[in-house]
Chain A
């Protein structure tokens, strides 16, 4: 029983380590102004400059919030106020530069500068909105979901 208790932290440590490996960092928040939140799985917390982001994260900005991010393929995204942006799919091999990047703009505004993923393959980067899907051939554009 005692050894069982002793094994517990090791087991927890192992689970945490595995989880960290499973959700790799794909980019970083570079600037935050006003109210900005990062929703990871079920936990929503205030976003901070320097914070790392992962696939499936959702970026949420308030009425006066803006946020800028860079990704490991050198893509850059920035959102204006009242936005909800999901990093739906991200895969990038730095050696071959193959990858896939799907961003979902559920509401608000998003400015995009595409990086290596879009450069390497014309169908690899997409931006989804509630009414359409945008195929990114390169490189700088902006999208707004209006109500």
Chain B
């Protein structure tokens, strides 16, 4: 009898302990789901250039600032502003930023087309450039096209303004006719104001009879 009573009390105690433990568990987990302030870190890597242009990124400001100036030189900056130099391999850096780098839009590219004297006719020598331009424009997503027409210094300013505009428009029309889905095609004429090769007035110059096209 005594033993039975003791056993019941013992069971009760165990039960209470179990409840207390599970309550504590809920409380603790409850606490754990309240997120502590995220520990943020900035990681920056300098990447190689398409051209040989000088390149650098300054990390931070003032006396503690760090300059990254070689490809794949890198740094981390923690919440306290502490800067640590890192040296990832090219493969590591490219892997960390693979998705962002894959989405990088292509570099703006420019084409120059030359024209016959006093005409909106493209020279036969410029035909391959025109085809390259069309192909590149078709390849790019959401392409913006800037077409700028120019003339040499033969003729009046007014005539050259008109001719340069007509040259630009003729290229614009060709692009539209090939079905390029551009978000913009802007065509402007600059007359004889921006010669590629400076000349005396009224001097014919084939290299200035041109249209410049920038695809962005």
Contact = CB atoms under 8 A, between A and B. Distances in A.
Interface of A: 28-31, 33, 49-50, 66-70, 74, 76, 78-81, 83, 109-111, 113, 129-147
Nearest to A79: B100
Nearest to B45: A142
Contacts of A133: 60-61
Interface of B: 38-50, 53-61, 65, 68, 77-79, 81, 83, 93, 96-105, 107-108, 140-142, 144, 183, 216
8 contacts: A76-B107, A78-B103, A109-B100, A111-B47, A131-B79, A139-B53, A141-B46, A143-B44
B43 A30 contact: no
Contact of A31 (B38, B68, B105, B107): B105
A146 B41 contact: yes
A53 to B, nearest CB: 12
Contact of B107 (A69, A80, A110, A113): A113
Given A109-B96, A110-B100, A140-B48, 16 more contacts: A28-B144, A49-B142, A50-B142, A50-B183, A69-B105, A78-B103, A80-B98, A113-B104, A131-B40, A132-B59, A134-B44, A137-B54, A141-B45, A141-B46, A142-B47, A143-B44
A69 B50 CA distance: 18
A134 B46 CA distance: 11
Given A74-B108, A129-B42, A66 B55 contact: no
